[in-house]
Amino acid sequence: MGALITVVIPTRNEAGQIDACISHLGWTDDIVVVDGGSTDGTVAVAHAAGARVITDGPRGIGEQRNSGIAVARHEWVFALDADERIGPELAQELLAVTAGGAAGMHEAYRVKRRNTFHGRVVRRGHWGNDWVVRFARREFRYGGSPVHPGLQGLRDVGTLTQQLDHTPYRDLSHHVEKLIAYGQMSASALAQRGRRARWSDVALRPAAHFWREYLLRGGFLDGKIGLIQAAMGAIGGFLKYAFLWEQE
């Protein structure tokens, strides 16, 4: 019998890695893939790997996760992305949480992501201190930012000790592609709230981000990877407000 945990995975064109993602989840009997309109065979691969698959068109990550949570068979849900892996140590900790009974149990748990770029783990900067709340009772739903949605209404969040492995980009070109997509999504969300781009958003905010990541948060200690990540973060901020400016 699998663990009493449902794993929900939102996807869109993840045929290249969804099988590997699911193959790490043999400890649970309920895996739900919520596909957002893939055209590369993701749905077929996920089915073949043993997941339940929901296919109802392009939507945001938060909405996809919520659809998966709504059909979860178990009380506890882990919201996993296709580029993340739950290793055996983290899996054992999740099992221990659900087996511990109600006493002392939190309603949700945060986990630190171990971010890898070009084969190297990033130790510093934003990516070196990256915490996400992904493990929670199925009564909670995601909302907020369309790019980085969070669980809403949480009052009691515990902390897991093991880390979640995350390889967000295949290479630099893939990183740039994601920055453009995230920038466009974020700009649209800001425009819907009536936000307008200021000169300082485009000219000063990206520079401040770079120096904060590279110097204040110690990115320079990660060598060229730290430099690249600080620079790419600044570029991402520039693109977000440049796209917003373009919409005005």
**Buried b / exposed e across 68-107, counting CB within 10 Å, b at 16+?**
bbeebebebbbbbbbbbbbeeebbebbbebeeeeeeeebe
Residue 187 and residue 247: Cα distance in Å, rounded? 8
The beta strands (E) that lie in the chain are given as 3-11, 28-35, 52-55, 76-79, 84-85, 108-117, 120-121, 130-137, 142-143, 150-151, 157-166
Per-residue pLDDT tens over the stretch 66-99: 999 999 999 999 999 999 999 999 999 999 998 8
Per-residue pLDDT tens over the stretch 91-131: 999 999 988 765 458 999 999 999 998 888 999 988 899 99
Per-residue pLDDT tens over the stretch 22-31: 999 999 999 9
pTM metric for this prediction: 0.87
Q: Which pLDDT score is estimated for 102?
A: 54
Per-residue pLDDT tens over the stretch 141-157: 999 877 789 999 999 99
- Cα–Cα distances (Å) from 152 to 61, 135, 161, in that order, read 14, 13, 23
Q: Which pLDDT score is estimated for 101?
A: 60
**Buried b / exposed e across 35-63, counting CB within 10 Å, b at 16+?**
bbebeeebbebbeebebbbbeeeebbbbb
How many CA atoms lie less than 13 Å away from 103 in the CB half-sphere? 0
